[in-house]
Amino acid sequence: MNAPVTAVGQVRVCTVLPTYNERANIPLLIDGIMQAAITPHRVLVVDDDSPDGTWQVVEALAAERAGDVVLIRRQDAKGLTSAIQCGIDAAIGTYAADIVTWMDCDLSMPPEDIPRLVRAIVDGGADVAIGSRWTPGGADRAHGWMPRTLSWILNHWAMLLLGRQVHDYTSGFVAVRAETLQRIRLQGDYGEYCIDFLYRAGKLGYRLQEIPVICVPRASGESKTGADLWDYLAKGRHYLATIWRLRFHYGSMNDVETS
């Protein structure tokens, strides 16, 4: 389902960064993204009115890097999924991006891996490129043994029920062709949006390609993934419910839709 692409140096890429209280990390992340860029690249920060003033830091960076960094400050909306979708809509609708990427803003996901995701689309013909911790060559060094184990179990359960085209359904580090995002909008709360999106993309016949990445401990601030075992289990319950719903309502990704 992949459309023709131009040379990598001519592709317009926009990286969406959903932020909440990432004041210390966001300048380093933006610098890392821009230094690694191999394409005309724009960083679009969607901040949910962070109490720590993240939006003020980004506002100053946007003034210094006019056109390369854009701030969307949301004062009347909250949530990870809606923030990413807001950024996607702006990236495609306002800035005519050919490829949209997004990632966490805690520096656990190396920005230097963005070009590898982009090349998987431009050179490799993928529609969706996934930064994967659970494919050979990838690793999760960002979390302790408990969250790593729970993530491994969750993703293997997803592979069993939804399809083995993806090993890291909860990645959150993704690059996608604009055409694909115009057909599939994000839905769900927190991390289950990624399970839902990757499943629907595969189910519709889009080509998914995983790129191994090594996630590292966050540089600063508090993790939003989970505060303790009970928090992880609570989020995990929602993930499992999403997997169950997709599998038994729509079937495996191996049963690709043709319409």
- CA of residue 52 relative to chain centroid, distance: 23
Give the span between the Cα atoms of 120 and 233, in whole angstroms. Answer: 34
CB-CB contact of 105 with 17 (8 Å): yes
Give the span between the Cα atoms of 242 and 192, in whole angstroms. Answer: 7
**Confidence band of 29 (pLDDT split at 50, 70, 90):** very high
Residue 50 predicted with pLDDT over 80: yes
Strand partners of residue 71: 45
Helix (H, G, I), strand (E, B) or coil at 32: helix
**Confidence band of 27 (pLDDT split at 50, 70, 90):** very high
pLDDT in tens, 84-129: 999 999 999 999 999 999 999 999 999 999 999 999 999 999 999 9
Give the span between the Cα atoms of 131 and 15, in whole angstroms. Answer: 14
Strand residues in the chain grouped as ranges (E): 13-19, 41-47, 69-73, 99-102, 128-132, 139-140, 174-177, 208-212, 214-215
5 burial class (0-12, 13-18, 19+ CB within 10 angstroms)?
middle
Which residue ranges form the domains of the chain, and what is each CATH number? 9-250 (3.90.550.10)
CB-CB contact of 86 with 115 (8 Å): no
pTM of the predicted structure, to 2 decimals: 0.90
Instruction: Report the chain's mean pLDDT, rounded to a whole number.
Output: 90
Per-residue confidence (pLDDT) for residue 25, from 0 to 100? 96
